[in-house]
Homo-oligomer: A and B are copies of this chain.
């Protein structure tokens, strides 16, 4: 069973946060938001353009991404996944 996201959406497997990992990504304390990390499992066909074609997403399958939005969380085959719009992704971590 596999999730195929639509249009500008991507399916992401969240990477658990470990605030003690050196070199990791932290959100400064005392801030309301929280930065999440995830691995992209699948990507939609892209943004609909005025001529009816699609602009491919910049995010690729396998990318490690940062996002602040909680997204839409589901559990598939016992695994917690998130569906996000590419707009909600802040950056790719290389």
Q: Complex: how many Å from CA A58 to CA B45?
A: 9
Q: Complex: how many Å from CA A54 to CA B11?
A: 24
Q: Kindly provide the distance from the CB of A62 to the nearest chain B CB, expressed in whole angstroms.
A: 14
Q: Given B6, B28, B74, which contacts A80 in the complex, CB threshold below 8 Å?
A: B28
Q: Complex: how many Å from CA A17 to CA B9?
A: 23
Query: Most chain-B CB neighbours within 10 Å: which of A11, A33, A74?
Result: A74
Q: Can you list, as one digit per residue, whether each of A57-84 has a CB less than 8 Å from chain B (1) or not (0)? A: 0110000001010001111111010010
Q: Complex: how many Å from CA A78 to CA B7?
A: 33
B23 to A77, Cβ gap below 8 A? yes
Given that A6-B59, A47-B48, A66-B3 are contacting pairs, would A25 and B76 also be in contact in the complex, using a CB cutoff of 8 Å?
Answer: yes
Q: Kindly provide the distance from the CB of A53 to the nearest chain B CB, expressed in whole angstroms.
A: 7
Within 8 Å CB of A89, what residues of B?
6
